[in-house]
C-alpha cells in the first residue's frame, strides 16, 4: 500500500449466507471493502465468501450465533483480527423472517416469540456490544429494521415488535456511541425480492407495487445502496435515524 492509498475497510455482515445479507456482503466487497461473512449456516457463509474471493475481493466466513454472547465475542475477535485490529462497519442483518408462522397474537407460540426476539433484537445488541471495543471514529453500525413497523402487519406481532425494537435500540446506541464519532442508523426495507420473500407469497414481484410511489418491486440492490450510503463519508453527520426504503409506499 502506498502513502496515497486508503486501507480497505473491514465490514462485518451478519446473516450473510444468502438473501439480503449476501447482497450486502457483495455490495461492500465491490467497492473494495474486506468482508466478514457471519452466519449460523457455515456452508452458506463459505459460499458467500467464495463468491467474493472469486470476484477478486477479500472475505472471511465465520460461523456465528447472534443470540449467544460467547459466539458474538468470538465473531468480533475474528473480524478484528481479519481487519488488523479494527472493525469499520457492522451490518446487523441476521433475522428470523421466512420461517415465521403468521398467527393472531393470541395464538403465537411462546417459544417462537422468544426465538424471533432473540435473533432479531437481542442479536443486534449482542453483536454491537461485542464489536464495540474494535470500533473507532468513523465506524458505522447499520441495523436492519422493517417498513412494516410503520404500518403494522396483522398476524405478525412478534416480527413487527422485534423490528420496532431495532429502531429503539438504534437510537440508544447512537446516543451512547456518538461521543466516539461512531454512527448508528437503521434501514427499514419494504417488501424486497429476496429468496425468502419469493417463497412467502405468490406473485411476489407485483405485491404492493400499486401502493408505492415508484411502481416497481424492491430489489436487493435498492437496500444495499442505502447501506453503502450510511456507511460512507457522505453520511458522517447522520445518526440515530431510520431510513425507510420502500419505494414510497408510506411516509413518516
Domain with residue 120: its CATH number is 3.40.50.720
User: Would residue 147 count as lying in a domain?
Assistant: yes
Tally of domains within the chain:
1
Instruction: Summarize the confidence of residues 53-61 as an average pLDDT.
Output: 98
- Domain annotation covers residue 3: no
Q: Does 207 qualify as catalytic in the annotation?
A: no
- Is there a contact between 35 and 83 (Cβ–Cβ < 8 Å)? no
Average pLDDT for 24-46: 98
- pLDDT tier at 219 (50, 70, 90 boundaries)? confident
- Would you say residue 82 has pLDDT above 50? yes
Q: Is the pLDDT of residue 52 over 70?
A: yes
Q: Nearest-5° angle of CA 58, CA 61, CA 67?
A: 135
Q: Is residue 141 part of a domain?
A: yes
Question: Would you say residue 252 lies in a domain?
Answer: no
Q: Residue 251: inside a domain, yes or no?
A: no
Say if 250 falls within a structural domain: no
With 0-12 / 13-18 / 19 or more C-beta atoms within 10 angstroms meaning exposed / middle / buried, residue 218 is buried
Mean pLDDT estimate for the chain: 91
Residue 2 lies inside a defined structural domain of this protein: no
Q: Which residue bears the cell 453527520?
A: 237
**Bigger pLDDT: 160 or 202?**
160
* Out of 62-71, 152-161, 231-240, least confident range: 152-161
Query: By the 8 A CB rule, do 142 and 242 touch?
Result: no
Residue 213 lies in a domain: yes
DSSP string, 150-197: HH--TT-HHHHHHHHHHHHHHHHHHHHHGGGT-EEEEEEE-SB-SHHH
Q: Of the candidates 14, 183, 175, which has an alpha carbon nearest to the alpha carbon of residue 92?
A: 14
CA atoms within 13 A on the CB side of 119: 20
Kindly report the backbone phi and psi dihedral angles of residue 108, in degrees, each rounded to the nearest multiple of 5, phi listed first: -65, 130
Given the residues 97, 159, 207, 237, select the one marked as catalytic: 159
Q: What is the pTM of this model?
A: 0.92
Domain span at residue 62 reads 10-245
Amino acid at each position: 500500500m502506498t502513502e496515497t492509498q486508503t486501507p480497505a475497510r473491514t465490514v462485518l455482515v451478519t446473516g450473510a449466507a444468502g438473501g439480503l445479507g449476501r447482497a450486502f456482503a457483495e455490495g461492500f466487497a465491490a467497492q473494495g471493502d474486506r468482508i466478514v461473512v457471519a452466519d449460523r449456516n457455515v456452508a452458506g457463509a463459505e459460499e458467500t465468501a467464495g463468491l467474493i474471493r472469486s470476484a477478486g475481493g477479500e472475505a472471511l466466513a465465520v460461523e456465528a450465533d447472534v443470540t449467544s454472547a460467547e459466539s458474538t465475542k468470538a465473531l468480533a475477535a475474528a473480524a478484528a483480527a481479519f481487519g488488523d485490529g479494527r472493525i469499520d462497519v457492522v451490518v446487523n442483518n441476521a433475522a428470523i423472517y421466512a420461517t415465521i408462522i403468521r398467527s393472531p397474537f393470541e395464538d403465537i407460540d411462546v417459544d417462537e416469540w422468544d426465538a424471533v426476539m432473540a435473533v432479531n433484537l437481542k442479536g443486534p445488541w449482542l453483536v454491537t456490544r461485542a464489536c464495540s471495543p474494535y470500533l473507532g471514529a468513523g465506524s458505522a453500525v447499520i441495523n436492519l429494521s422493517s417498513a412494516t413497523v410503520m404500518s403494522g402487519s396483522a398476524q405478525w406481532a412478534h416480527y413487527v415488535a422485534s423490528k420496532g425494537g431495532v429502531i429503539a435500540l438504534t437510537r440508544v446506541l447512537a446516543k451512547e456511541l456518538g461521543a466516539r464519532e461512531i454512527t448508528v442508523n437503521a434501514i427499514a426495507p419494504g417488501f424486497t425480492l429476496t429468496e425468502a420473500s419469493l417463497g412467502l407469497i405468490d406473485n411476489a414481484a407485483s405485491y404492493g407495487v400499486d401502493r408505492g410511489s415508484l411502481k416497481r418491486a424492491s430489489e436487493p440492490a435498492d437496500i444495499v445502496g442505502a447501506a453503502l450510503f450510511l456507511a460512507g463519508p457522505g453520511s458522517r453527520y447522520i445518526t440515530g435515524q431510520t431510513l425507510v426504503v420502500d419505494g414510497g409506499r408510506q411516509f413518516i
